[in-house]
Amino acid sequence: MSRAIYEFTVDQITDHTKEIRELFLTLKNQPEFKFKAGQFVMLHVPTEAGKPALRAYSIATTEHDTKKFRLIFKFVENGAASNFVWALKGHEILNFTGPFGKVFFQEPPDEQIVFLNTGSGLSQHFCFLESKMKQFPNLKYKLYFGVRKEEDRYYEKELTELQKHLPNFEFHYVLSRASDSWTGKKGYVQHFLKETNYKEIPTTFYLCGNGGMIKEVKHQLLEIDGLDKSKVWSEAFD
């Protein structure tokens, strides 16, 4: 049996940086699209051959809205989906299948939740935060967001807005190629594990984005520190 195709209209396009584009999408052809925070959809990218190419995108916004969601795209040179998405002007109808994915927010949650992401990997974590902020407002949330340079940062306004609902939410950009004037964190997100005090505070980790980062963090947490698998959840985008 073939999967239902969900048609979404492109309501708004926001270019956050040269490489990051966000699409605001509204469901058009079905009564609702239900998903759980952490899941992704498959975008059907039209091809000359006729059969669409399928690409996965994590839903960036709350699971409580079954009619609209937002997706965050990072441009990949010569990428089929990237070229398609960067050619959009607005009002187009895009086809999706889904939802897919098995990385969910673990409940009951630990006292502390640590998110480590790179590039567009923020999307899955933003979805967790927006979906769970009313249910679990008082947890300690720490988010480390890895990008290359100052100009690659995005979603500062959206993350700051979350802090109004989450009194114990802190987020940090970690820049791998920062200029000398950058006074924030430098290096890679995996260098900041220690400062979360995860050995003292019961903590669940969520990792999203670059596969190399995920591999390194898992090696540290699972193999070196011996954390239980149920405390580390990851989604690699490459």
**Residues within the interface to ligand FAD (CB under 6 A):** 40, 55-58, 72-74, 76, 78-82, 120, 123, 235, 237-238
Q: Please report how close the Cβ of residue 177 comes to ligand FAD at its closest, in angstroms.
A: 16
Q: Are 20 and 120 a contacting pair, CB within 8 Å?
A: yes
Q: Please report how close the Cβ of residue 118 comes to ligand FAD at its closest, in angstroms.
A: 10
Q: Specify the residue, 233 or 237, whose C-beta has the smaller distance to ligand FAD.
A: 237
198: CB partners within 8 A, 6+ apart: 112, 114, 205, 221, 227
Q: Specify the residue, 117 or 196, whose C-beta has the smaller distance to ligand FAD.
A: 117
Q: Specify the residue, 53 or 162, whose C-beta has the smaller distance to ligand FAD.
A: 53
Q: How far apart are CA 90 and CA 9, in angstroms?
A: 8
* Tokens 């520190």, residue located: 225
Q: How far apart are CA 129 and CA 108, in angstroms?
A: 15
Q: Are 39 and 98 a contacting pair, CB within 8 Å?
A: yes
The residue number with the shortest CB distance to ligand FAD is: 79
Q: Please report how close the Cβ of residue 58 comes to ligand FAD at its closest, in angstroms.
A: 4
Q: Please report how close the Cβ of residue 114 comes to ligand FAD at its closest, in angstroms.
A: 20
Q: How far apart are CA 93 and CA 87, in angstroms?
A: 13
Q: Specify the residue, 68 or 110, whose C-beta has the smaller distance to ligand FAD.
A: 68
